Amino acid sequence: MKVWEKDIFRHILLMLVFSTILTACGSDNKHDNQKNIPEKPVIASKDAIVVGAGLSGLTAAYELEQQGFKVTVIEARDRVGGRVATIEMGSQTGEIGGELIDGETVHKQIHHYASLFNVALADVGYDGDIEEGAYYIDGQLVSYTDFDNGYNHAVVTDYYRFKDQLKLLADAVPDPENPAELPLAKEYDLVNVQTWLDGLQLNPIAKQMAEQFIRGEFDEPSNLSLLHVAQYSKVYENVSDDDVESTRFLKGGVAMTQAYVDNIQGDIVLSQPVAKIEQVDNKITVTTSTQSTYTSDVIVVTVPLTVLNKITFSPTLPDAMTQAADNINYGTHSKVLLQYSKRFWLEQKLGGDTVVASLPTGWTWETTERQGGEGGILIAYTSGDFSKMQKEWTDQQVIDTRLAEIELMYPGSSDYFIAAKAQNWINEAWTKGGYLAYGPGQVNEYWKLFEVPVGRIYFAGEHTDTLYLGYMEGAVRSGVRVAQQIKELGL
C-alpha cells in the first residue's frame, strides 16, 4: 500500500540519489526476495476504482496496476479479505471463511498468485496410519474404510448410487461454461435437487448422507437448481479425490490477502461503505457513506449480490441485474472454530474429517494439522436450513450446540474444550450469505449476467465466475477476467 511522504522535495531528492546509485552499480536479481513479481509499472493518467477488498477485488487491483492504472480500493469493512479471514486462538489460527484449495491443476489461479507472492501452502490431512475421516451415521462414527468394507450393505449401495447419479448428471452437460447447451436444460433448471433426491428412492440413512453432501457443497437441496448441480458435477468430473480441497495457506488466508496488499501501490481505503456510483460521459464518481468522493475512468464492483442493491447506481443498473441481486439464491453456511487442548480424534486414528449424516453439524475437519501444540482446532461446518435457523441465535448458543454435537460424536471431548469462535455469514453486514448457489430457474435466467459491463462499470466476485462458484479460486479468476476486459478497452 502506498505510503504518502510529507516532505515531497526530500522524497524526490532521495529517489534521484538512489537512481544514480542503481545506475552505477546495476541490480542483482539473484538476491531479489520477490524475483517472480513483475516490475511495478509507472502509473499513467488513467484511474480505476475497485469496490471491495476481497480476493476478487485485490486481484483486479493488482492486475489493473500492471496495466498502468492508478487504482483505489474502497472497502466497507475495517480489514481486507472479504470472506477470507484468519482468527488467532492462542498460538494457533483458524479460518472463519474460505479455507480449502484444490490441487494446482484445478485451482490454477490461486496457486499462481500464491507462487507469485511467495505465500506458502500446506497439505491437508495426516500421513501414516491416520484415517482421513469418518461418517457419523445413526449414532456412530464409521471410518471411510469401514464404511466401504463392512457397513450396512443397503446404505453403502444407495449412497454410491447417489454418487453415480451425480456422474450421470455430469455426463449430460456438454460444456460446464455453457450449461444451457444441455438438452432439456430449462427442464433441468426448474427441478429442485430435493425433488430429484426424493425420486432416487434411497435408503433413509443414505438419503440423509446425500442431503448433507448437497447442503455442505451448495445449500438446502430444495433451494437448488438441478442444472446447477449438474454443471458443478461436470466441472469436477475428471478431478481425482486427492486434488479436491487438498491444501490451505500455511499461515492462514491472512497471509495471502496481506501479500496482495504488499504488492498493490494504490490506496486501500477501509471502513468506507460505498453508497452511490454515478456514471456520466465515461467518468465514474463514487460517494461513500461518509460523503467522501472518488473519481475514475473505470470501476470494478465486487460486492456480493446480497448487498449490491445497498448501492445506488446512476443511471440505474439494468432490471435483470437488480432483480438478480434481490432474488438469486445464496447458500447459508456457518463455521464454528472449536479449540481443544487435546486432539482426541487422533486417538481413534481419525483425521477429524467427518461427514455428519444425522446432526445439524454437517461436516467437521481439523484445521491445525500443520500447526504445533498438543491440542488443535476442529471446524464444525453447518449449512442450509440448519444454518439459517441459527440466524437469531447468539454466538454462545451456536457454540454450545456445536459442542454438544461433537460430544455425541466423541464422548468426553468437552473435557478438553478451551475456546471457540462462531461465524454465521448470513448475519455479516457486508455479505448476508455464504456464496452463490443457483435456485430453480436461475441458471438459465442469470448465467453470465454479471460478466457483461454496464458502460464503464464492471463486476467481479465468486458469484460472477462460471467454474468455481463459492471457491476462493472463483473470486481470483473473476479478478483476472475483469482486468482483461478492461484491458480490451484500450485506455
Q: d(Cα 266, Cα 249) in Å, to the nearest integer?
A: 25
How confident is residue 184, by pLDDT bands cut at 50, 70 and 90?
very high
CB 472 within 8 A of CB 97: no
Q: Indicate whether 30 pLDDT > 80.
A: no
Q: Which of 82, 187, 319, 189 is nearest to 73 (CA)?
A: 82
61-88 pLDDT tens trace: 999 999 999 999 999 999 999 999 999 9
pLDDT of residue 229: 99
CB 340 within 8 A of CB 418: yes
Q: Which of 204, 213, 256 is nearest to 97 (CA)?
A: 256
Q: Is 75 annotated as a binding residue?
A: yes
Listing from the earlier edge strand, what are the strands of the sheet with 376-383?
Answer: 140-143, 131-137, 350-356, 363-366, 376-383, 333-340, 417-424
Mean pLDDT value across residues 258-283: 98
Q: What are the C-alpha distances in Å from 338 to residues 141, 378, 392, 417? A: 19, 5, 21, 7
Q: Indicate whether 11 pLDDT > 50.
A: no
* Dihedral of the alpha carbons of 206, 216, 197, 443, in degrees to the nearest 10: -160
Q: Which of 51, 94, 25 is nearest to 336 (CA)?
A: 94
| Sign of the four-CA dihedral 160, 236, 144, 331 | negative
CB 129 within 8 A of CB 349: yes
CB 227 within 8 A of CB 189: yes
Q: Which of 475, 168, 159, 447 is nearest to 324 (CA)?
A: 447
Q: Which residues of 402-411 are buried (b: 16+ CB within 10 A; e: fewer)?
A: bbebbeebbe
Tell me the helix, strand and coil percentages in the chain, rounded to 5: 40, 20, 40
Residue % of the chain over a pLDDT of 70 = 91
Quick one: cell of 324? 438478480
pLDDT of residue 129: 86
Q: Is 76 annotated as a binding residue?
A: yes
Q: What are the C-alpha distances in Å from 3 to residues 52, 74, 258, 321? A: 20, 16, 15, 37
Q: d(Cα 263, Cα 2) in Å, to the nearest integer?
A: 10
pLDDT of residue 45: 77
Q: Which is it for strands 298-301 and 457-459: parallel, antiparallel or unpaired?
A: parallel
Q: What is the number of H-type helices and E-type strands within the chain?
A: 16, 20
Beta strand extents in 281-438 (DSSP E only): 283-288, 293-296, 298-301, 312-314, 333-340, 350-356, 363-366, 376-383, 417-424
CB 328 within 8 A of CB 461: no
CB atoms within 10 A of CB 72: 21
Residue spans of the domains in the chain: they are 8-21+41-80+253-329+437-487, 86-128+244-251+330-427, 155-239
Q: Which residues of 20-48 are buried (b: 16+ CB within 10 A; e: fewer)?
A: eeeeeeeeeeeeeeeeebeeeeeeeebbb
The number of residues in the chain equals: 491
Q: d(Cα 477, Cα 234) in Å, to the nearest integer?
A: 18
Quick one: cell of 230? 449438474
Q: Indicate whether 16 pLDDT > 70.
A: no
pLDDT of residue 40: 53
CATH topology of domain 86-128+244-251+330-427: Polyamine Oxidase; Chain A, domain 2 (3.90.660)
Q: Does domain 155-239 have CATH number 1.10.405.10?
A: yes
pLDDT of residue 36: 61
Q: Indicate whether 280 pLDDT > 90.
A: yes
Q: What are the C-alpha distances in Å from 75 to residues 50, 55, 111, 445? A: 9, 12, 25, 30
pLDDT of residue 10: 36
Q: Does domain 8-21+41-80+253-329+437-487 have CATH number 3.50.50.60?
A: yes
Eight-state DSSP code of residue 222: G
Predicted TM-score of the model (pTM): 0.91
419-451 pLDDT tens trace: 999 999 999 999 999 999 999 999 999 999 999
Contacts of 254 (CB under 8 A, 6+ apart): 81, 84, 85, 86, 93
353-385 pLDDT tens trace: 999 998 999 999 999 999 999 999 999 999 999
CB 392 within 8 A of CB 371: no
The β-bridge partners of 188 are none
Mean pLDDT value across residues 410-418: 98
